[in-house]
Amino acid sequence: ILDTRVYRWLETATDFFLLNLMWLVACLPVVTIFPSTAAMFGVVRDWVRGKEGSLTRTFITRFRENFGQSLLVGAIWTVFGVALFLDFLVANQLPFGAEVALKSALVLVTFLYAFGSVYLFPVMVHYDADWKTVIKNSLLISIGRLPTTIVCVVLSAVMVGLTVVLPFLVIITGSITAYFVYKLCDRQFRKIDAAFGDA
């Protein structure tokens, strides 16, 4: 029994490592960061849902399936993030009163941006929807399921922090983070799907 448990643990650890490696390699062209991340979330969705299959084949399939949409959503999300950053720089040049007012609004928008980011890929790989619906639903679910959103944000921040402090963890933290974020999101998806009668 012990040998079986050890074998399963090693098999699981290997799967996480290989998925993380494929994700990192697929991210190397930079422009494919979003399709690669969507593919990784597609794989962990299958894991969470108990679907088995070839890891490499599933990753490639999910990469192709989500390529166009993830590129578009990623580009829009990146532009919005850059615009948000530039707005903070502009706010620094304003008179004190205007600066405080604008930064207060920007902080609120930043929280919404961070919250929506948590659900962006989980929503993309779970629902068959166009890019506008993906963004809209990501924002709506993030607010409607705030406790889960906060846990996901904290989890992601902790994993990023660990990777910064211990760079060698980059070989595994991406896939582990994706798995637990999707697992948390999936609980909410099941509730939403049940409430609206979706599959």
Please give the structure tokens belonging to residue 52: 């088995």
Rg (CA), the chain: 18
Please give the structure tokens belonging to residue 60: 């490639």
Nearest to 21 by CA among 186, 193, 173: 173
pLDDT one digit per residue (tens) for the chain, 199 residues: 557 888 888 999 999 999 999 999 999 999 999 999 999 999 999 999 999 889 999 999 999 999 999 999 999 999 999 999 999 999 999 999 999 999 999 999 999 999 999 999 999 999 999 999 999 999 999 999 999 999 999 999 999 999 999 999 999 999 999 999 999 999 999 999 998 865 4
Alpha carbons 81 and 123: distance in angstroms, whole number: 19
Alpha carbons 179 and 40: distance in angstroms, whole number: 9
Alpha carbons 156 and 142: distance in angstroms, whole number: 15
pTM of the model: 0.92
Alpha carbons 190 and 175: distance in angstroms, whole number: 22
Q: Which amino acid is at 167?
A: P
174: CB partners within 8 A, 6+ apart: 20, 23, 24, 40
